[in-house]
Amino acid sequence: MSKVLRRPAEFRQACEDARAAQRRVGLVPTMGALHRGHFSLIDEARAHADFIVVTIFVNPFQFAPEEDLERYPRTFESDLAGCHERGVDLVFAPEPNAMYPTGFQTEVSVKELGKPLEGGFRPLHFDGVTTVVTKLFNLTGRCTALFGRKDYQQWKILSRMALDLDMPIELVGCPIIREADGLALSSRNRYLSTSERQRALGIVSGLRDAFDAWQHGERDPDALRSLAEESVRPAFDHVDYVTAADPETLGASPPSPRRLLIAVAAQLGSTRLIDNVVLGEDPRP
């Protein structure tokens, strides 16, 4: 079985020992409920490292009070089995009070990149993410860290943070893993009823329509955005955003861009899904 550590100091020591033994550390931070998307990060970690660490921690600071912290899926035993099957060396699964002991009061915040898209709807979310990931990076030390690009904004924010704060971390953003019908894998997909699962494909159709139009030469960001929105809106109970943005700044795209991010967040019942495609870069969703 992969070794499991729960105490931050022990985890730090294990990573230091691995580096002292000339092993390159690969870090896959997760909140558990592992699926093929996470496993693809573990597999990719092997290309960069030979001591693979998975962290499993449902970080309370990145959930707003009305969000799904309590019901967020916790599947530790099967997560552990999945890590073991893939030869993960170490699983770090701390308790909340080990990460945030009494008196904890520090926050890490990336200013501009956190404002658009998710930032408009989950204003405290990214400060929770950057704070916990800073702690995980500090405990792990020099490593390659792998993140999925389904959380595209998270990946951009964390890359900026590592650069700005001189962290000795190489960040790798990995492709979105999809079901055969195109739905992006997410730990939250398990909340969907059968009919919601079908309606969720509205996001896939929207992203595909934008992708196809781009392939046929459409370069007007708003036209591409509207095409995506036409499929998303009727399928979902509520749409937070369908946005066309510059893939680097996440702000407004210049006209006729060479690459364009189309990002979607929408709600089916009480389940909120996000997805995206970078036109001019990603394959068809």
Q: Which spans of this chain sit near ligand PAF (rule: CB under 6 A)?
A: 29-31, 59, 62, 129, 132-133, 151, 154
C-beta of 57 vs 214, nearer to ligand PAF: 57
C-beta of 62 vs 243, nearer to ligand PAF: 62
- The Cα 279–Cα 283 span in angstroms is 8
Residues classed as catalytic = 38
Question: What is the smallest separation between the CB atom of 213 and ligand PAF, expressed in angstroms?
Answer: 30
C-beta of 125 vs 225, nearer to ligand PAF: 125
Q: Give the three-class secondary structure for 65.
A: coil
In 3D, which of 217, 209, 216, 219 has the Cα closest to residue 253? 219
**For tokens 């089995």, what's the residue?**
81
Helix (H) / strand (E) containing 277: strand 271-279
Question: What is the smallest separation between the CB atom of 145 and ligand PAF, expressed in angstroms?
Answer: 9
- The Cα 81–Cα 12 span in angstroms is 23
C-beta of 139 vs 244, nearer to ligand PAF: 139
- The Cα 1–Cα 9 span in angstroms is 21
Question: What is the smallest separation between the CB atom of 130 and ligand PAF, expressed in angstroms?
Answer: 9
C-beta of 155 vs 211, nearer to ligand PAF: 155
Q: Give Cβ neighbours of residue 250 (< 8 Å, ≥ 6 apart).
A: 113, 116, 117, 153, 156, 261
Strands, sheet with 238-245, edge to edge from the N-terminal-most edge strand: 238-245, 260-268, 271-279
Cβ–Cβ under 8 Å, residues 38 and 194: no
Strands (E), the chain: 3-5, 25-30, 51-56, 90-92, 143-148, 169-174, 238-245, 260-268, 271-279
Question: What is the smallest separation between the CB atom of 105 and ligand PAF, expressed in angstroms?
Answer: 19
Question: What is the smallest separation between the CB atom of 277 and ligand PAF, expressed in angstroms?
Answer: 19
Question: What is the smallest separation between the CB atom of 38 and ligand PAF, expressed in angstroms?
Answer: 8
C-beta of 31 vs 232, nearer to ligand PAF: 31
Taking only Cα atoms into account, the Rg of the chain, rounded to an integer number of angstroms, comes to: 19
In 3D, which of 33, 13, 106, 36 has the Cα closest to residue 76? 33
- The Cα 12–Cα 160 span in angstroms is 23
Cβ–Cβ under 8 Å, residues 117 and 154: no
For residue 173, count other CB atoms closer than 10 A to its CB: 15
